[in-house]
Amino acid sequence: MKRIYLLLAFISVFAIAKIEKKNFLVIQDSVSELVQKKLQKHFIVQEFKNGHQVIEVNESNVLEISEVIHHTFHKCGGFYSFDSRTEASKYISDLSVPGKRVPYSEKRKNFLKQLDQKSKFKEIQSIVDEAKEINIREMIEKLSSYHNRFYQSQTGVDAAKFIAKKWKEITKNREDAEVTLYDHSWKQPSVILKIEGKSKEAIVIGGHLDSINGFTYQMSFGTKGGHAPGADDNASGIATITEIIRVFADSNIIPEKTIFFMGYAAEEVGLKGSKDIAADFTKSNSDYEIMTALQFDMTNFNGSDKKIFLIDDNTSKDLNDYLGSLIDRYVDVEWGRTSCGYACSDHASWNNAGVPAAFPFEAAKSKMNKHIHTSEDVLAQSNGVADHALNFAKLGLAYILDLNKKQ
């Protein structure tokens, strides 16, 4: 009997240790104060610097913090999560100004100045018009059929592997295409498709592939997580990217610049996947030089009078102006500008790494989909179709094809 008690005690200690794993979050001062007030909790502040702070929290607190930010600012993200204080301290020290970790290089600044905001090309329009709503819809339906795509769940891993398989299938006739799984320190991998260009200069189109249900997910050992179909957040973005890949792959165009399509893991718990990737791809010894990064996170809920909204914080004004011109030239819908007020999606990881980023969004912040992070984030909230997301697929294609012109 004594042995049984000792075994039970050991199991209990082990389970508590699993639950009480520490995370170190880099978060804006104002956001941290709001979160602690809303949760009526006091988190240990390890460091203050550059308008941000490092707070030490339990892993279970990460979801609570994510949900407070979601319901207050009506968007995801809002902080960066690290496994150690050392990593978090280095990151906060590198934040020379809030919202931008590394200044844009002169080469990237010059690249932005050279973007053509006037010329329209018939051959680009003809390819843009090849994007089909039905393909986006079917991909949303498939991804939202998983119980969830949470970054620590098996279904989250399965969904990432399905995306990799799908991207391989639609690029199988291109010798310049390569799909890889990018492993992290957690279960779910990110997915990266590279289409090799004539230059080692590169552009990125990405969106997060994970989903979350902040109300029902329990962090205790052995649970599989709450039902989080995530049709809009962010099956819609991944489905939009998948249709962009299909159309471009079928065009047989050899790109001037290398193109990376990315499905980021673990966005919902602190932009973890994109943070890893952006840091890796901007190392001084990287094989490629990322010139711009475009983010698709929620593309299918038509909540506003205009069709596309460009997020104006943690983004490049020059790149946003360029995207606005692409919408006018090739998508021909009304567009506007809105803001998050904080680092609300993976574009912030690139911006903080010194890469000009942009984030076209589905609605004005106040009109966004209120069903995300719940079991009600299903395609029916968008009337069962992907008409709205089609506008973003066209924009993404115009972005690739127009940047493909020699400059």
Catalytic residues: 208, 233, 267-268, 297, 373
- Helix (H, G, I), strand (E, B), or coil: what is residue 303? coil
**CA–CA separation, 252 and 249 (whole Å):** 6
| Contact by Cβ (8 Å): 198, 39 | no
- Helix (H, G, I), strand (E, B), or coil: what is residue 243? helix
- Long-range Cβ contacts of 86-89 (<8 Å, 24+ apart): 87/24, 88/24, 88/25, 88/26, 88/46, 88/47, 88/54, 89/46, 89/47, 89/54
| Contact by Cβ (8 Å): 273, 266 | yes
| Phi and psi angles of residue 203, each rounded to the nearest 5 degrees, phi first | -125, 155
Residues 169, 180, 358: CA angle, nearest 5 degrees: 95
Instruction: Collect all residues with Cβ–Cβ distance below 8 Å to 90 and sequence separation of at least 6.
Output: none
**CA–CA separation, 154 and 150 (whole Å):** 8
